[in-house]
Each structure stands twice: as structure tokens, then as C-alpha cells.
Amino acid sequence: MKAHTKETQATMTPAKALEFLKQGNERFQNNLKANRNLLEQVNDTSEGQWPFAVILSCIDSRVSAELVFDQGLGDIFSVRIAGNFVNEDILGSMEFACKIAGSKLVVVLGHSKCGAIKGVCDNVTMGNLTALMSKLKPAVEAVKEPSENRNSGNADFVDNVAQMNVRMTIGNIKSRSTILNDMFSKGEIGIVGGMYDVETGVVRFFED
């Protein structure tokens, strides 16, 4: 499989980009990697890059976007931060990826058993982590049930908060970036959320 070029990126649509990622995750689940020469891709991308998607995911060592979507060099922009939320710098990076570099899809990828989400459910405070946790707190508050056992020991609650965090992050992208929201409204890019299951390797994309 060759690295993406300006020409192949130009033929990409948001729907096609999403399908590429779905197919890549299916290969990952079945341990069937696409045939690609990474050293050849190094050479092919030495003069430029044409990624078709930008993926915001957690720093969790089990959730490498390039691996779980079976992508090579030059295929995707990968943004990683504990809890997969956005700030000004991440939004700026996404704007560069889409408006300048031509990516067609923004993916916010949460995952099961997320340590950052568990931390905020347990009200963890520690150094700079305290400020990071505060960015995730709105997702905890938005999940109303249950009224008890709202901590990391409740696996369903943790996953519900993780999913809510993905949805709220998508909302923040649209409300805080006029560039990305305008591109989305015009159909130039897609903005989707998904959850990665650390037990199965399956990515489930949100339908809405």
C-alpha cells in the first residue's frame, strides 16, 4: 500500500475517509495488516504529507490510532492527550490539518477503561493533573445516573462518562472553531466520535 499523495487525498470524501478507517480497524481485529513498505513510505513522504484524517485520542498505550486503524506513514494526523479533550492548541492543530493540509475527517476517539476518566470520576488531584481533570469534569456532571457509586469501581458509569466526553468534545470542536464548523457545515469535512474497546480491539463509531 502506497502513502497518500495530493491526488489520492483530493479524491477523498468525509464518508470515504471514515470507510478507510473502518476497513483498517477490521484488518486490525483480524490481525491482517495491509501490505506496505514503511521505508518506501518514508521516501514517498519526504517532500510532503497528505493525510486524509486527523484523530484525537487518549495517550493510553493501548490506543495507538495508527495501529488500531492499520494506517501507515503520511496517512493520518494523530493528536493524543489524556482524556481526548480539546484546548486551543489542539483546535489549532486540527484547523491546520483540515484547512491547510487537506484532511477530510476529524475523529474523536475515546476508549473503554480510560484511566483519565476513572481519575476524574474519583476526583483525583495531583500537580498539573488537577487542571487536566477539570477539563473532563463536565462529562461526569452530564451523566446523571446512577446517583450512587459514581466512581471508577462502576465500569458502566466510567464508560458512559467516556462516551459523554467524546460527544461533548465534538460539541466543543464545533462551537470553539469557526473554521472547522464552517467546513463541516459545507460538507468539506466530517466530524465523528467513536469508542475503542481495549478488550476486543473494536472501534464503534457513533451513528449520530
CATH of the domain at 108: 3.40.1050.10
55, part of any domain: yes
pTM for this structure?
Answer: 0.94
1, part of any domain: no
Helix (H, G, I), strand (E, B) or coil at 57: strand
Can you tell me the distance from the alpha carbon of 47 to that of 34, in angstroms, rounded to the nearest whole number?
23
Q: What value does the mean pLDDT of the chain take?
A: 95
Question: How many folded domains does the chain comprise?
Answer: 1
Supply the pLDDT for residue 85.
98
Query: What are the tens digits of pLDDT across the range 180-192?
Result: 999 999 999 999 9
Sorting pLDDT into bands at 50, 70 and 90, what band is 6? confident
Look up residue 49 and give its three cell numbers: 504529507
118, part of any domain: yes
Q: Do residues 136 and 117 make contact, with C-beta atoms less than 8 angstroms apart?
A: yes
Cβ neighbours of 59 (radius 10 Å): 13
Query: What are the tens digits of pLDDT across the range 106-164?
Result: 999 999 999 999 999 999 999 999 999 999 999 999 999 999 999 999 999 999 999 99
Q: Do residues 174 and 1 make contact, with C-beta atoms less than 8 angstroms apart?
A: no
Q: Which domain holds residue 23?
A: 6-205
89, part of any domain: yes
